[in-house]
Structure 1
Amino acid sequence: MSKKSLIIEQAALLFAEHSIESTSIEHITKKCGISKGAFYLHFKSKDDLILQIFDHFFKDIAGRFTAIESGALPATKKLRTYVITFFEVLEDKLPFISMYMRQQRTPNEELFALFTHYNSLIDEATKQLLITVYKQKIEGVTMDILVTLKGLIRGYSEHILLNRAAYNYDQLADTIVERLNIIIEHATLWFLEGDAISLPPCEAISFELISKEIVTQIENYQDNAFLHESLELLHTELNKQQASPALIAGMLANLQGEPPLQWLSFLIKNYKKSV
């Protein structure tokens, strides 16, 4: 784990346990075993740290969804795994999220912009998954099915946030997938129609975004020669005028199975420029 990731993980735990106001920079640095100078190398302030905690959370869930979509599971099991993963991540992050919701007093424009950005990217990963699972069954109504799935997940998420208990997420996933299957098979009215089964590249992804993420991961994987070299080769190839799709595919295959790198894989696979 990089020093930055360590600070994010430990700060999220401290904030959840003691609140944002009661947790000082000194508390965080002591918990991580670092100096204040090391903290300020990565974060401008406590507010910047909070923003980057959410950034870390969003990347985590988008990366996990991407790994499911491109993984070896049978298509029929991918959506179920997707739903279970969402609620497992929610459960894992719930202490911090609940604390933030209780303590936040005024709207945070930076956080809203961050949420909007990642929401569009996570929607893209989810649409790709739905197309993988249902194929021609959802042609023309992919966006409507996406909105329906998000509505089912959001409704149960709100219930879980407000009614804490030990929930069976396997059963919940089966319930949501069954509801969606019934809708796809029997619905006769659709509100959002006309989208093609072949979705256009995601406009929210830029080369600058990809390059920044690769540079970050190159630093994070300095102690892993295989992944470090793969990332450097990937970065070099993407910077070429005529990048080799075969080489890029090979480097992405090297990153497969490494959860922190699935977010990067998603960005490259959905980049609007054909590489």
Structure 2
Amino acid sequence: MEIQKLNWAGIKLISNGKTILIDAAEDFSYYKPVLGDAVEQVMKFSDQVQADYILFTHLHLDHFDKGVIKKCLKRDGKVIVYSELEPLVRKHVEDVEMIVLNLDETFTENEITFKPVFAMDGVGEIQSSWIVDDATTKIFHGGDTIWHNQFWKLGKENKDIDYAFLPVNGVVVNFEIIGLEYSPVPASLNLKEAFAAAHLLHAKKLVPIHYGLFAHEKCYIPQLFDENDLKRVSDEVGQKYVILEDGKMLMES
């Protein structure tokens, strides 16, 4: 399996000649009032990528980019959807083949297995995580999940995860502008929680996602960290990790 990091929480997988996008987004303009401007140039990929399968963890527009689906999904491609999201997705996406899965239900095609599993959104909206397995590499993608009590169960039921892609920015959000009361509790995993979650998943390595690109002094306040923090928490938890910059390929076997 070839793995490429895209913007923010997005990744691209290539396996058995098939291309898979998860949480692939390149248009963040709608959320500019709460996310602020991107601190780095946003990677443009939709003109070069044709996907056989597109998945997303939830419908926040920094994870669910309708433009990417329109531009990147092949004519015979499939959108794979967690069943609780299906009615909402059908309001936004038309004329595509949709594979609808319940939690822990699997769909296998081209020797690649897709499985949505439990996740918890920081503001109470519907979210799943995804496991993709091609019998050579198994990845877990956690969108922007918060800490929850199912990581132990997920680790027991899903053996041999190679890479856990998990959010690490522990962001505090103030979305009163869209009707949500302020809470000082982070709306995504922070660094230590992500390392602990990857450890409970028995992942060989954590790959941090969902950090660094956005911050807003009033509305979107992430927890900051540096390489020293990564090494310290890795040693403390006993969990290995690899940093993957946007656009870079995961070259490890």
Q: Bigger relative contact order, structure 1 or 2, given CA contacts below 8 A and separation 6+? A: 1
Q: TM-score range by the shorter chain?
A: under 0.3
Structure (1/2) with the larger strand percentage: 2
Whichever of the two has the greater Rg, that structure is: 1
